[in-house]
Amino acid sequence: MNEINTSVLIIDDEEMVRDNMEEILVPRHQSIESQQINHAASILFDAPTPILAPLTSNIPIFKVDKASNGMEGVEKVKASIENNSPYAVIFLDMRMPGWDGLETAIEIRKFDSKAEIIFVTAFTDRSIEEIIEQAGQNVGYHCKPYASQEIIQLATKAVTDYSRLRNLESLIESIASIGLNERQLNSLLKNILDQLATTIGTDMAFLGRLRDDFSYEKVLSIGAMEEKINLEELVSRIRDIEISAEEVVQLDELVLARLNGYSVFAVLKKNGRLNTEKMYLLRLFVQNAAQAIRNAEMNEELIRKEKLSAVGSAIGMVMHDLRPAIGNIQLLTDIIREEGYKSDWLDMIDRSARQASEVFEDFLDFIRERQLKRKPYCLNRCLRALWPS
């Protein structure tokens, strides 16, 4: 699991607010009383570990940057992406000179669609529906004045959610590069699909092949989807809708992610909506799952061919040893004839021996991958042999 990202950006035009939130998230020192007690305890008990741990001992160690306006904040976000050190959470004031909070959030989303944005404001100029519609669903809203523990709780939850999604993203990206057989791969894909379903807010989903003629072949599923959902009816709902080969769409409670001939169907809980981040994870899962399934199929085919090759080599050795014995049969029948014994059975034995020798020769040619010469052949002879009349 990757180390948790605790980078925080505070965007507010009031310096006092910026400094106060930084002090809450990154305390500069413990109280004098706590330091004195810990010092005395370390001497008395010869224990270097503090007896009175700070209140934030179980809280992530945040790294805080600050910006005094929206434009400066967006520049910091842009630089963080370029330096591969993105912010996990952004605290954003709504009323600011220049760009307001919503305008700033919209600009931030042009560079970073994954950061958790939390509006902290004393004003409600914008409705939460408007904010979500324009800034995405991975946003929060908190009113001023705020308590210190509220800010710590918001930041802790935001960085935890961010880290969980990034770990899931890394796991999904690794699917295609892991060499697994079909059974192992299906178990892994089902586990990841279960995590992904929890993230997008559903307990019913399945992965399968959706062909151009809209026939569907299920690969795996989670939940009671097969019992509760009519698959044919589900496919018919999307039959008349223009869906590109690499798109994630939501039709009421139904979500379809389609890529590389594979797709994920998910049924969201009532009134559920997908944000850009969740659609991205769905698309990423289908893309890597499709590649992993193809890799597993190719690996199984390679193993099958290797087994056939090994079996063919073994049979070839047997054929090679049997060929002289079969070839000697005609010599034996000739000797029997020279002794004066005449019988139709001898002729039948000769024909069977010749046929066996031809089969052996053809099989050995096939194993050695010898180039075959094509010759015209008249089928009338075969037909007359089958139907003499």
Task: Enumerate the domain spans of the chain.
Answer: 7-26+61-163, 172-298, 320-386
Question: Residue 54 pLDDT > 60, yes or no?
Answer: no
Locate 71 and state its tokens: 């434009």
d(CA 361, CA 326): 11
d(CA 202, CA 266): 7
The winner for highest mean pLDDT among 113-127, 156-170, 314-328 is: 156-170
8 Å CB contact between 62 and 26: yes
Of 68-82, 158-172, 221-235, the least confident: 221-235
* pLDDT on residue 287: 81
CB-based burial, 150-166: b 16+ in 10 Å, e otherwise: ebbebbbebbbbbbebb
Largest CA distance in the chain: 124
* pLDDT on residue 271: 60
Percent of the chain with pLDDT over 70: 81
* pLDDT on residue 303: 78
d(CA 282, CA 286): 6
* pLDDT on residue 30: 46
Helix/strand/coil for 65: strand
Each residue of 250-306: pLDDT tens digit?
777 777 777 767 777 777 766 666 666 777 888 888 888 888 888 887 887 777 777
Of the candidates 4, 170, 20, the one whose C-alpha atom is nearest the C-alpha of residue 89 is: 4
8 Å CB contact between 91 and 25: no
Angle between the 101-109 and 128-135 helix axes, to the nearest 10 degrees?
Answer: 20
Question: Residue 11 pLDDT > 80, yes or no?
Answer: yes
Region class of 369: left (phi > 0), else alpha (psi between -120 and 50), else beta: left
Angle between the 276-338 and 344-367 helix axes, to the nearest 10 degrees?
Answer: 150
CATH number for the region 172-298 comes to 3.30.450.40
Taking residues 174-196, report their average pLDDT: 83
- CATH level 2 (architecture), domain 7-26+61-163: 3-Layer(aba) Sandwich (3.40)
Each residue of 291-341: pLDDT tens digit?
888 888 788 777 777 777 777 777 777 777 777 888 788 888 888 888 888
* pLDDT on residue 307: 76
